[in-house]
């Protein structure tokens, strides 16, 4: 059984301010040598994978939630008989272990090896879930909650349509938001910050396999037990309420 890949919302690419400085005119200036480089050019090089490797390793702090190419593993999926499943069968691996299932759903395996070429268009499945479950910042891995207000924060490139919403994007702490605005091409155009007191797990974004038809990428609630038995989870979705717009730092 093959497993299609899907892309999730791109996370941010903050620079390390002790190496490079953004002077606000679209240029990055290396603090030690004084040489400059266009932000837009470097961002595009990162996206297509031709970025200067020395800059990738020394100038950029890769966000915690981003996946690296070497972390991709082959997924040898299978459908197994299971007397505890509602249909008597469920999606599994050919060599399943108990930790493959969390919250009653099978999760996509990935290595944890943050080295080499970065895939900025994809979130690492297990780190995304970790950030969501433990309220960690998707960029720095630190606590995402603001100790002064007790609220979690997010930054989006467009307005959130409602105060209650479902998100697969982990929060970003207030310390990381200014750098995210500088380095993320989406946020350079437009940025909106929202906070919430907390959230609840709602479901998963994953690949749903059915007996009749192609696998499809779906958002599956944790209450849909039948569908979850044939879902390969890629990201945890949470339900956030009481989202309030805030001043953009």
- For Zn ion, the binding residues (CB under 5 A) are 137, 139-140, 173, 176
To the nearest whole angstrom, how small is the minimum distance from the Cβ of residue 179 to Zn ion?
9
Is 170 or 203 the residue whose CB approaches Zn ion more closely?
A: 170
Residue placing its CB nearer to Zn ion in the complex, 132 or 176: 176
Q: How many CB atoms lie within 10 A of CB 49?
A: 12
For residue 176, the minimal CB distance to Zn ion (Å) is 3
Round to whole Å and give the CA distance between 166 and 202: 8
In the bound complex, what is the minimum distance in angstroms from residue 247's beta carbon to Zn ion? Answer: 18
- The number of beta carbons lying within 10 Å of the beta carbon of residue 217 is 15
For Zn ion, give the closer residue by CB, 137 or 152.
Answer: 137
Nearest approach, Cβ of residue 10 and Zn ion (Å) = 16
Residue 195: which of 240, 139, 243, 148 has the closest Cα? 243
Contacts of 34 (CB under 8 A, 6+ apart): none
Side-chain half-sphere of 128: how many Cα atoms within 13 Å?
A: 27
Q: Which is nearer to Zn ion, 180 or 220 (CB)?
A: 180
Give the nearest distance from C-beta 165 to Zn ion in angstroms: 21
Measure the CA dihedral 200/204/210/215, to 10°. 160
> Taking the complex as a whole, how short is the minimal distance between the CB of residue 55 and Zn ion, in angstroms?
21
Closest among 14, 98, 93, 2 to 60, alpha carbons compared: 14
Residue closer to Zn ion, measured from CB, 168 or 227:
168
CA 160 to CA 169: how far, in whole Å? 13
CB–CB of 53/109 below 8 Å? no
């Amino acid at each position: 059984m093959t497993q299609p890949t899907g892309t999730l919302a791109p996370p941010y690419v903050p620079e390390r301010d002790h190496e490079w400085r953004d002077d606000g005119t679209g240029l990055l200036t290396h603090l030690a040598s004084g040489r400059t480089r266009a932000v837009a050019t470097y961002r595009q090089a990162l996206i297509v994978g031709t970025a200067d490797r020395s800059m990738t390793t020394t100038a950029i702090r890769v966000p915690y939630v981003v996946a690296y190419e070497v972390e991709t593993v082959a997924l040898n999926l299978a459908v197994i008989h299971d007397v505890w499943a509602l249909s008597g069968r469920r999606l599994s691996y050919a060599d399943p272990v108990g930790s493959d299932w969390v919250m009653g759903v099978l999760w996509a395996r990935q290595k944890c090896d943050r080295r080499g070429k970065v895939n900025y268009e994809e979130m690492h499945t297990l780190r995304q879930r970790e950030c969501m479950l433990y309220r960690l910042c998707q960029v720095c891995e630190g606590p995402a909650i603001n100790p002064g207000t007790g609220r979690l924060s997010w930054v989006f490139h467009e307005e959130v349509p409602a105060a209650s919403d479902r998100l697969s994007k982990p929060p970003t702490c207030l310390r990381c938001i200014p750098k995210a605005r500088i380095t993320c091409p989406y946020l350079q155009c437009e940025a909106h910050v929202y906070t919430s007191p907390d959230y609840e797990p709602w479901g998963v974004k994953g690949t749903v396999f059915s007996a009749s038809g192609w696998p499809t990428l779906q958002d599956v609630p944790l209450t849909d037990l039948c569908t979850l038995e044939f879902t390969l989870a890629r990201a945890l979705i949470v339900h956030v309420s009481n989202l309030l717009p805030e001043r953009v730092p």
